[in-house]
Chains A and B, each alone.
Chain A
Amino acid sequence: MKIIKNKIIMEDDWNVLRLNEQETAEDIVVKPGKQIVPLKVWLAQRSTLQLRSDLGVWLASDERPETIKDDLQQFSVIAVDFPRFADGRGYSIAYNLRVHLSYTGELRAIGDVLRDQFFYMQRVGFDAFAPRPDRSIEDALKGFSDYSEVYQVSYDQKLPLFRRVQRKGRLATGSVNE
């Protein structure tokens, strides 16, 4: 499968493990190879999973990144699931992981991930995107350059616009009556 990582389209061989209704976090057998497991599975099977050299974990939108705050080095990738693109909790999860928990590894957006959200997603700290497979991934790349300037602080931009550039005020722009 193809994903976008650091704004480049690349092949990716991570598998995102999603449990079906019959499967439980305790009993599911995690296949060998590169697996991104649900947080619940990590918590239930931590003692065996932590022996793996390559492991990823994904958080559902109602799960807390603080749960894995002491485990961050264990993962080659952390993914955040967007069950619907309109569920915006993933943005704060990503921000908290990056800014409050200082996570520096790969942070991947999975689920209902569409190009119109990329700009915001990269700002809060996502660097990898698994866009919905029914859409052109080449088109999706355009999503990163929606805006060339932003006002506020986030993970990607540590300074707000007013600290980064010299904004000139009324003398430069004139007033309505001029």
Chain B
Amino acid sequence: MYRYDEYDQQIVDERVTLYRDQVRRRLANELTEDEFLPLRLQNGLYMQVHGYMLRIAVPYGLISATQMRMFAHIARKYDRGYGHFTTRQNIQFNWLRLEDTPDILADLASVEMHAIQTSGNCIRNITSDEYAGVAQDEVIDPRPYAEILRQWSTFHPEFAFLPRKFKIAISGGKEDRAAITAHDIGLSVTRNAQGEIGFRVLVGGGLGRTPIIGSEICEFVPWQHILTYAESILRIYNQYGRRDNKYKARIKILVKALGIDEFRRQVEADWANAKDGPGTLTEEELNRVASYFTDPDYATLSNHNSALNEFKADNRSFSNWFQRNVKPHRVPGYAIVVLSLKKLGVAPGDATAEQMDQVADLAERYSFGELRITHKQNLVLADVKQADLIRLWKEASTSGLTTPNIGLLTDMISCPGAEFCTLANARSIPLAELIAERFDSLDFQHDIGEIELNISGCMNACGQNHIGNIGITGVEKKNHDEWYQVSIGGAKGNNSSIGKIIGPSFTFNQVPEAIDRLLQVYLRERIEAERFIDTVRRIGHAPFKEHVYATTFEVEQEEVTDKSVVTPAQYSVPFYSPRF
């Protein structure tokens, strides 16, 4: 994993000093909230329902045990004892005080972390494949490139005030696990016919109000040129992206308006000036950064472990877990373990300070001291000896991290929703819990098999509802009641697609029943081992729609008096800005 050298450390330390001064000026009213807002946003600080929310960058989802312990410390000292891992491989703390945030950033800097560019209209934290470096289908390890892009984008002077946020994702496997088609720039590291390394570059993907799958702008940009090429894309976007309407400001709208061919022409005209210039990446720099991502000291092992097989045969819980939460590793004798943060009764992605400490211990004991955060809001131990799996499973079970549901129905993605987010139309987390309760039966979940269920509290789509096999979105109705739209047919990965809404929206309590009916159609129609998404693609929406709306919904309506029912923070917030 990457370590800061003196330059990285200095830049992050200077940021803390600068931010401390900005907070001081804000508290002294030398800065208005309007002026402070973009500054705090560039430090990942939002104003939300309960107070300040801080989003901390976990570059491409990779984190050390020491850093995880720092999260635990922050959760205990400054927050309410827990944190929320996000779909963009970051972590958020929801209950902070403005006055404390400079100290939190200083704590983070002491373990080589920061909150730079985790919000605001700038280049955001770069996300990647959670199995990078260990996946069996990997073509090229994307992590060195992700780190190089992180450095390039950090405080890029020209692109700090873009029309809108800008998200880059990078993957290096045959299968795309980074949702690169749903990003402003999606990069796939590959080899061309000559064996040279480069990037397939997609542009203009994004979710939100106008979900669009990215278009290919270049089939192959040699790795040396990726920084200058990305810079040209950003420069065209910075100049021509719309700024009159924030819902039309993402690069996807510009690419759509110009057409990919015209957009490409403009980018390449700009690139002609920078190509081969000093911004070109050098072999030496690539090697320096790549030196941090070389293999750990793997032991020479074989894949067969009879003790494991015996235990699997005897222990149903373990074999369920093994089947769902353990993934094949590139190196014989090793396995990838996914620790589920989707336990019944817990908000998807939430982890307590104790759990953070425990996973840090597990990482040190079993996985070379490193962890990953997944875009599905789970945690990964990437390098576990197969021979350690039983012990690891027993220990992780005591921390509530072994729910055997990875890839199944209850491995849901959910945004924070109305309890935590000022933009929400409806609650997300309680709905996720209601659904999890309804489909708690593991046998049923195993029968349904692989399926992705994504929930967002509004059309900003933080829960990536558009690319969920089943997507649920809180929609606004005049009377401010909570209503949810349900879509099916969305998918991420190589064969990604945007889901389509099945029909009129549902109340909070109707949603689980609607999902149940969708699943009934799937069970009725599926052929052999077909996944839910395959059935939807084969038979189309009509049979689903027909069945869901065929009979009335007999569920009680619960009166929701206050959607932000979590007790608000018990301190006065003098520097309040209603919207981020």
Beta-carbon contacts under 8 Å, A113-167 to B = 114, 116-117, 119-121, 123-124, 146-154, 158-163, 165, 167
A176 with B66: in contact, given A88-B160, A92-B238, A151-B154 (CB under 8 Å)?
A: yes
Most interface-central of B157, B281, B291, B369 (chain A CB within 10 A)? B157
**Could you say which residues of chain A place their CB within 8 Å of the CB of B3?**
170, 173-176
Known A86-B38, A147-B155, A151-B154: A120·B10 in contact at CB below 8 Å: no
Which residues on B sit within 8 Å (CB–CB) of A167? 5, 7, 285, 288
Q: Say whether A162 contacts B158, CB under 8 Å.
A: no
Q: With both chains docked as a complex, state the minimum distance between the C-beta of A50 and any C-beta of chain B, in angstroms.
A: 27
A151 CA to B227 CA, complexed, in Å? 12
Is A161 in contact with B278, judged by CB distance below 8 angstroms? Answer: no
B278 A153 Cβ-Cβ under 8 A: yes
Query: B370 near A: Cβ within 8 Å?
Result: yes
**Taking the complex as formed, is B161 at the interface, i.e. its CB lies under 8 A from any CB of chain A?**
yes
- Contact pick for A86, options B65, B152, B161, CB 8 Å: B161
Kindly state the separation between the CA atoms of A173 and B160 in the bound complex, as whole angstroms: 30
A85 vs B154: C-alpha distance when bound (angstroms): 19
Q: Which residue of A lies closest to B281 (CB)?
A: A162
- Does B239 have its Cβ within 8 Å of any Cβ on chain A? yes
Interfacial chain A residues near B291, Cβ < 8 Å:
169-171
- Highest count of chain B CB atoms <10 Å: which of A123, A147, A170, A174: A170
Confirm or deny: B346 has a beta carbon within 8 angstroms of a beta carbon on chain A. Answer: no
* Docked pose: A163 CA to B288 CA in angstroms: 12
Say yes or no for B243: interface residue by CB 8 A criterion: yes
Q: How far is the CA of A116 from the CA of B296 in the complex (A)?
A: 42
Q: How many pairs, one residue from A and one from B, have CB atoms within 8 Å of each other in the complex?
A: 134
**How many Å from the CB of A100 to the closest CB on chain B?**
6
The answer for the CA separation of A150 and B152 in the assembled complex, in Å, is 9
* 17 A-B pairs with C-beta separation under 8 A: A88-B161, A88-B163, A91-B157, A95-B235, A149-B11, A150-B155, A151-B154, A152-B156, A153-B278, A162-B284, A162-B288, A165-B7, A167-B285, A169-B289, A173-B5, A175-B292, A176-B370
Q: Could you say which residues of chain B place their CB within 8 Å of the CB of A53?
A: none
Q: In the complex, which residues of chain A have a beta carbon less than 8 angstroms from the beta carbon of B277? A: 153
B352 close to chain A: CB less than 8 A: no
Instruction: Assess whether A168 is interfacial by the CB under 8 Å rule.
Output: yes
Considering the complex, give the chain B residue whose CB is closest to the CB of A82.
Answer: B161
Question: Which residues of chain B come closer than 8 Å to A175, judged between CB atoms?
Answer: 1, 3, 292
Whole-angstrom distance from the CB of A45 to the nearest CB of chain B?
26
Chain B residue contacts of A121, Cβ below 8 A: 157
